[in-house]
């Protein structure tokens, strides 16, 4: 079977040939998804020291090579300005035109056509408002927060209609909902403010059979059921030091695929033998019955020798049936 069919079977827990690092995709995401400014230089790949404003008016500064910039200026720091704030238009040809241009070049036999809703809701809102301000607003200005969430999701649904028109097969959504030891806000806040808006977007894609990949860093064990109820097909990056991976697999087995799980600290520090061992352990722990894409639990500028050790270990030991590492405790 080709890589695309193997990935489908991994997602379905349906006798794949081998574990791989991720879905094979051809991206056709809209202009601005990676913090690009309307004009001039900037965005995800901007050099260290660059400053710019993205299509939302958020001011960014890139401080490290190979790592995305940080939001430094928030156009809705005062939510009383919400009524006069001008949201970007998902039908603006400057934004949506790239979707159609990239889709035309896709090889759909070997790759999934994919689109992104980076910073889908929570992250989009705290970049606009500032995280501290938004946390306070949950209590002090809940009506304005709900209106902000609705209008951000209106934008995402506008983009989704363009993705649907070109026939995307996979969409990537991102919202980091967890910290190292717990959620960033309570499950009640998640249910009251975010889930109703997430459901609008998820329902749109589920009705069309689109594969949904959701990225959420940190400790997310308490809300695995929320992801599965919404219809997440694959959850990443599955942060190894923030979750009980055995429990995550037990809860999601047969229901939701997982991606990531190999500790960033191990990949960054090495040695190569430790990376190989942890990679084999994760494939056995999380993927021996399917439903797992093996990779880092964060994207970082790793030493090439170290990232290569992970890739080569997956290639060497990722074919089914998966064997446990030789020193696995009994």
Domains in the chain, CATH or no CATH each? 3-236 (3.20.20.210)
Per-residue pLDDT, 64:
82
Of residues 58, 157, 66, 52, the one with CA closest to residue 115? 157
DSSP secondary structure, 224-279, as one string: HHHHHHHT-SEEE---TTTS-HHHHHHHHTTT-EEEEEE-HHHHHH--HHHHHHHH
Per-residue pLDDT, 329:
62
Note the maximum CA span of the chain. Answer: 63
Q: Alpha-carbon torsion 25, 231, 161, 125, what sign?
A: negative
Distances (CA, A) of 74 to 46, 61, 83: 19, 12, 16
Positions of the chain with pLDDT lower than 50, given as ranges: none
Question: Strand 211-215's sheet: what is its strand order?
Answer: 25-27, 112-117, 170-174, 211-215, 234-236, 257-262, 292-296
Per-residue pLDDT, 27:
98
Per-residue pLDDT, 68:
83
Per-residue pLDDT, 43:
84
Per-residue pLDDT, 328:
74
Distances (CA, A) of 19 to 252, 281, 295: 17, 13, 10
Burial of 106 (0-12, 13-18, 19+ CB in 10 A): buried
Of residues 250, 246, 234, 240, the one with CA closest to residue 291? 234
Instruction: Dump pLDDT digits (tens) for 200-251.
Output: 999 999 999 999 999 999 999 999 999 999 999 999 999 999 999 999 999 9
Per-residue pLDDT, 143:
97
Cα distance between residue 157 and residue 308, in whole Å: 38
Of residues 123, 117, 125, the one with CA closest to residue 146? 125
Instruction: Dump pLDDT digits (tens) for 176-196.
Output: 999 999 999 999 999 999 999
């Amino acid at each position: 079977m080709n890589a695309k069919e193997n990935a489908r079977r991994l997602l379905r827990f349906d006798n794949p040939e081998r574990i791989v690092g991720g879905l094979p995709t051809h991206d056709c995401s809209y202009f601005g998804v990676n913090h690009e400014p309307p004009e001039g230089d900037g965005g995800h790949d901007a050099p260290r020291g660059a400053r710019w404003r993205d299509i939302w008016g958020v001011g960014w500064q890139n401080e490290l090579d190979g790592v995305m910039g940080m939001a430094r200026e928030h156009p809705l720091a005062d939510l009383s300005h919400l009524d006069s704030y001008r949201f970007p238009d998902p039908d603006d040809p400057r934004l949506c035109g790239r979707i159609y241009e990239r889709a035309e070049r896709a090889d759909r036999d070997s790759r999934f056509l994919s689109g992104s809703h980076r910073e889908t809701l929570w992250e989009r809102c705290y970049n606009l408002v500032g995280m501290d301000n938004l946390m306070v607003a949950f209590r002090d200005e809940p009506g304005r927060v709900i209106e902000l969430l609705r209008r951000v999701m209106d934008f995402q649904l506008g983009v989704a209609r363009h993705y649907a028109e070109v026939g995307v097969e996979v969409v990537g959504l991102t919202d980091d909902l967890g910290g190292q030891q717990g959620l960033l806000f309570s499950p009640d806040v998640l249910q009251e403010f975010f889930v109703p808006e997430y459901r609008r977007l998820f329902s749109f894609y589920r009705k069309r059979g689109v594969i949904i990949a959701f990225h959420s860093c940190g400790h997310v064990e308490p809300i695995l059921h929320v992801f599965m109820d919404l219809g997440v097909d694959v959850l990443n990056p599955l942060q190894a030091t923030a979750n009980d991976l055995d429990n995550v697999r037990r809860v999601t087995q047969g229901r939701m695929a997982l991606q990531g799980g190999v500790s960033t600290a191990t990949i960054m520090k090495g040695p190569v033998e430790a990376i190989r061992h942890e990679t084999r352990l994760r494939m056995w722990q999380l993927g021996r019955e399917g439903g797992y894409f093996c990779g880092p639990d964060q994207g970082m500028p790793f030493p090439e020798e170290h990232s290569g050790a992970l890739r080569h270990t997956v290639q060497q030991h990722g074919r089914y049936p998966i064997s446990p590492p030789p020193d696995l405790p009994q």
